[in-house]
Structure 1
Amino acid sequence: MSCEKKPSCEQIIDILPDPFVVIDNQFHIVAANHRYCDKYGVAHEDIVGRFCYEVSHHSSVPCSHHGEHCPQEDVFRKGKPSQVIHVHYDQHGHEERVQLQATPILDEDGNVLYMGEYVYPLSQAFEDHVQLIGRSRAFLQMTGLLQRVAPTQTTVLLLGESGTGKECVAQYLHNYSNRANGPYVVVDCAALGSNLIESELFGHEKGAFTGAAGCKKGLFEAAHGGTLFIDEIGELPLDLQTKLLRALETGTIRRIGGTDYIKVDVRVIAATHRDVKHMVAEGTLRKDLYYRLSAFPVTIPALRERLDDVPALAENFLSRLEDGDRHIPLSPEVISRLLEYDYPGNVRELRNIIERAAILAYGGVLDPEHLVFESTRSDSTEPSGYSMGRRRPAKLLNRRSGRLTDDEIMETLEQCKGHRASAAAELGVSERTLYRYIQRMRGDEAEA
C-alpha cells in the first residue's frame, strides 16, 4: 500500500484559529498562517524571509533594542517557552497590544531549531480598563520588565517617586497575568492607622478586641485567587512586617484573635516611594522582608526622565475630560510650554495641570496662558509659587516648533510607508493627533 503524502508545515499551521508564525534564530519568518498575514497586511507569498520585527513592529531592529523583552531571544537562549505582552501595529498601522506565547521547536538532538509564536490580540474593553501611555526609551525599558514578569506568580516591588503611577502599573500587572479574572484588591498603608492595618490585611474573629462584634475577612482572603496590591509598604509597622513575611512564605494567614491558619492563593505587588535600602539600614524595614519583596523590583521613571511622553499623556488626559476632546490636538505653543517644566509631582501633577487648563480655557481655545505650574523648588525667585522649569528636549521641540503642515504630514507618511503610528512618532505627536490632522486634510479636500 502506498504511503500518503504528509501535510506541509503551512497546511498544519493554517488549521490554527489564531495568528501563528515560525521564526528562525536570525529573526526571519520561515512560515506563517493566513491569519497572521491578514493581521499584518502582508501577502502570504511575500511573508517568508522577512524579519518578524519589520512586520509586527514596523521597526528596522529587534524589539529588544527599544527596551521591550524579546521572546525570540529568550527562546533561543534558554530553550524554554516565553510569554510577554507587546505593542504591535496592525495592517492599518494602528497600535495594538497583544499577548505573545512563544515555544521552541527542537531538532532531533534537542537543540532549538525554530520558534513558534501565537499572537493573541487583547480586547479593546480590556485595554481601556488600564492604559500605560508612552513610547520614550525609559518608559519602554520599564514596560519591557512588566511584560516579562506579568504572566508569572513572582512578587513585584514597585519603586518610584510619588505621582509616577505605581497603582496603574500594579493594575497593568494584574490585568496581564493569569489572575486577570480574579479579584484585584488594594490597600494603602499610608491611609490607615497602625492599629487598623492588621485588621484590614488579615481580618479578625468576633470578640478579638473591643468593637469586634463579628467575624471579618481581611484583604488577603478577599484577594484569594487574584492580586493584592500593598501601596506604601514602607509605612507598615515592624511587628506586622513579620506577619506579612510569613504570609508571603507560607501562603497562610491567621486572623486577629484566631487560632487556625487559613490558606490563601494571592500574588502580592508592593510599592513605595521611599528608599528601601536606607530603611533596611536604619532598621525600619526588615531585611528578610525586603529580600522577599524585591524578588523582582521595577523602578517607575519620573516624568522628567520621559518628557517625550508628555504630549501623548496630556492629550490622553484631555480626551477623558467632559468636552476636553475639542482641545485635541494641542497647539505647538502649548506643547512647547509643557515641555519646559520638570514636573516634581510627576504624572499626577501633569493631569492636574491639564484639568485646570481645560477649566480656565472654558469655551475658548486652550492656550499657553492657561497652563499653571506649581513649583516646589526651594531656589525659586518667581512670585506666587509658580515658575517654569528649564529642561527642554531640543529634538522634540524642533519637531513641534510650528504647526504641522499638510506637506510635512504627507512626506512623513510616505517615508513611513503609510504606518500612522511610526509617522506620529517621527512628527512628535500622538497617533490620535495625527489622525485628527489627516481627518482635517480629508475635509479640506472634500470642500475643494
Structure 2
Amino acid sequence: MTLPTTLIAPLSAMSGAQIRIPSMLTTKKPNCEQIIDLLPEPFVIIDRDYKILAANRAYRNHYGVENDDLLGRHCYEVSHHANAPCSERGELCPLEEVFNTGKPCQAIHRHHDKDNNEKYVRFQTIPIVDDDGEVMYIGKYVQALSQAGKNAGLLVGRSPAFLQMSNLLQRVAPTQSAVLLLGENGVGKGKVAAYIHFHSKRRNKPFVIMDGGMLDENLIESELFGAEKGAVTGTNNCKIGLFEAANGGTLFIDEICELPLSLQTKLLRALESGTIRRIGGNEYINIDVRIIAATNRDVQRMVAEGQFRQDLYYRLSAFPIHIPPLRNRREDIIALTEHFLTHQPEDGRHIPLSSEVIDKLLEHDFPGNIRELRNTIERAVILACDDSLAPTHIVLEEGNIFSNRQEKARQAIEHLIQRRGRLTEQMVLDALTQCDGHRARAAQLLHVSERTLYRHIKRLKID
C-alpha cells in the first residue's frame, strides 16, 4: 500500500518532535507501514468494510495485538470487543461518517485496552482519497484520555437515550455553533456544556460560567458586559465582564430564560455584532466567544407569550440538545453510581454494590435527576462509614414529593410564572411556605435551580 500525502502532514505538524528515519528508508521508497510507525500516537488504516489494513506499532501496543492477528480483522472487534459496528449499538461510527461526508470526524468512545479495561479515548478520523478524490480508506488517530481529561471532558452513560444525546454532542462540539441545552433541573447541563467546550477547538481557552438566575438586572449587565470606573455603584475600578473574560473561549449562560427582556436585547446585539460596550463606556470591544445556553423552561412557550425574544431564541437555538432525565436512562444509574463512588473526596477505595442496593436504586425515579443520585450516594457513603453499602444506607424520597396541597400551590405558582415571566417576592414566599421551608422542593415548585432560589432568599433576607 502506498501512503497518501494526506497522512504526511501530521508528521510535520508534531511540534518539537524529532523523527529518526531508519537507514532502510534512505535507500528506497518507504511503504505505508514504515511511515505510520513514525507516528507516536496509535494510528490505523481501515477500509469501508471495517477491516484493518495497516496499524502502527503504537496501535498494536495499545490494544495488545500482534500484527499477524490484527490485519484483516474488523476494527470494532479490536477496540470494542464487539461483533457489530458502533452504529448498530447506538454510537456514532466515525468510519461511516467519513465515507458518507468525505470530511474528517472526531469522537469519544470507550475502548478496551490491552488489559481488557474499558477506557475513554478521543480519536480523529480522516479520509484517505484516490487521485479522483474518492474516499477509499480512513485513517484513525487514537488518543487515550488522561484522568484529568476524564473529569473535564467525559460524560458517563451507555443507555440509548444517552448515546443519542452523545452523538449530537460529538457532532456539534468541534463547530463554532451556538448550542441550547434543554432539560430538567439536575440533569447535568453544566457538565454537558463543559464537555462541548473540552472537545472543541477552544478547549485551551477560557470556559466561563454565568448564572442567568441572578436577580439584580444591573448586576447581570455589569457581570456580562463589564463597567467603566464609577459607572456602577461600588466599582472603583474598571470591571471586566464575562464576555471579555471568555474571549477566545466559551461562555456558558445557565438559566438563560431568567434574563430580563431588556438584557436579552443587549445580549442579542452582542451576539450579532461580535462587539460589546461596557456600562458607562463609549468604545465597542471586539469579542470572539462561543455561546452555550441552558434552561429548564419551555422556551418556545415563553416566546409565544412574549416573555423571551424570538430573534434571540433563534440565534441561540442553532443546535438545540435535549438532555434526558435520569428516569429515561435507567441503564446509566449503576454506571453513574460507580462513578460517584470512585470519585468520593474522602478516599479512593473501591466500594462494591450489592444486588439489593442496585435493585433499590433502579426502582427509584430520581425526580432530582443526577444531582439527586449524587447526593444520595454521598449520603450513603457517610452512613456506611467503612462498611459496604447496604439498602438501609440508600435514603430516597418516597413517592411524589408534593402533597395535594403543594400540588395545587405548584399549579398556581406556575400559572403566575407563565403570566409574569420572572419570580416575585410573593412567589418565593408562597413556595417556601407550601414546602415548609424545604428549599430544594421550593426550587422545583418554582421551576428554578436551588442557586437561583438561594439568591432570591438572600436578597429578601429570609431566614
- Normalization by structure 2: what TM-score? 0.77
Q: Which residue matches 1:384?
A: none
Name which of 333, 350, 358 aligns with 2:381: 358
SS at match of 1:65: helix
Deviations 1:279-322 (A, max 9, x none): 11111111111111111111111010111111222232233335
Which of 123, 138, 159 matches 1:100? 123
Instruction: Indicate the residue corresponding to 1:176 in structure 2.
Output: 199
Q: Report how far residue 96 of structure 1 moved.
A: 2.2
Task: Find the counterpart in structure 2 of residue 388 from structure 1.
Answer: none
Partner residue of 2:302?
279
Larger CA deviation: 72-81 vs 61-70: 61-70
Aligned-partner residue type, residue 47 of structure 2: D
Name the residue aligned to 2:219: 196
Q: Distance in 2 between matches of 1:217 and 1:379?
A: 43
Q: Which residue matches 2:324? A: 301
Q: Secondary structure at the match of 1:270?
A: strand
Structure 2 residue aligned with 1:256, among 279, 296, 312? 279
**CA apart distance, 1:347:** 0.6
Q: Is 1:114 aligned with 2:104?
A: no
User: Per-residue displacement from partner, 1:59-117 (whole Å, max 9, x unpaired)?
Assistant: 22211223322221121111112222222221112222222222111112221111111
User: For residue 74 of structure 2, what is the aligned residue in structure 1?
Assistant: 51
* Structure 2: gaps (5+ residues): 1-26, 405-463
Q: Does the residue aligned with 2:213 lie in a helix, a strand or coil? A: helix
| 1:339 equivalent in alignment to 2:362 | yes
Paired with 2:386 and 2:57, the residues of 1 have a C-alpha distance of 50
How many equivalent pairs are there? 379
Aligned-pair Cα RMSD in Å: 2.2
Structure 1 residues 16 and 325, CA gap change in structure 2 (3 angstroms)? closer
Deviation at 1:250, TM superposition (A): 2.3
| Alpha-carbon separation, structure 1, partners of 2:317 and 2:399 | 31
The equivalent of 1:313 in structure 2 is 336
Alpha-carbon shift at residue 121 of structure 1 (Å): 2.0
How far, CA to CA, are the matches of 2:198 and 2:45 in structure 1? 27
Q: Which residue type is aligned with residue 173 of structure 2?
A: A
Inter-partner Cα distance in structure 2 for 1:240 and 1:278? 19
- Name the SS for the 1:99 alignment partner: strand
Letter in 1 for 2:139: G
**Residue equivalent to 2:263:** 240
How far did 1:8 drift? 1.7
Give the one of 367, 371, 375 matched to 2:390: 367
Relative distance call for 1:359 and 1:16 in structure 2 (3 A) is closer
Q: Which amino acid aligns with 2:46?
A: I
Shift of residue 159, structure 1, vs aligned partner: 0.9
Residue in structure 2 matching 1:124, options 137, 147, 159: 147
Distance in structure 1 (CA, Å) of the matches to 2:295 and 2:145? 30
Conserved? CA contact 1:327–1:366, under 8 Å: no
Change (3 A) 1:97 1:107: same
2:181/2:292 contact within 8 Å kept: yes
State the percentage of identical aligned residues.
Answer: 62
2:54 matches 1:31: yes
Distance 1:15 1:378, change over 3 A: closer
Distance 1:246 1:375, change over 3 A: farther
1:267 aligns with 2:300: no
- The answer (yes or no) to whether the contact 2:351–2:388 under 8 Å persists in 1 is no
Instruction: Select the residue among 39, 42, 57 that pairs with 2:65.
Output: 42
What does residue 34 of structure 2 align with?
11
SS in 2 for 1:289: helix
Q: 1:80 aligns with which of 67, 92, 103?
A: 103
Q: Distance in 2 between matches of 1:17 and 1:232?
A: 43
TM-score, length basis structure 1: 0.80
Aligned partners of 2:38, 2:382: CA distance in 1, in Å? 55
Rounded to whole Å, the distance in 2 between the matches of 1:37 and 1:326 is 32
1:22 paired residue number? 45
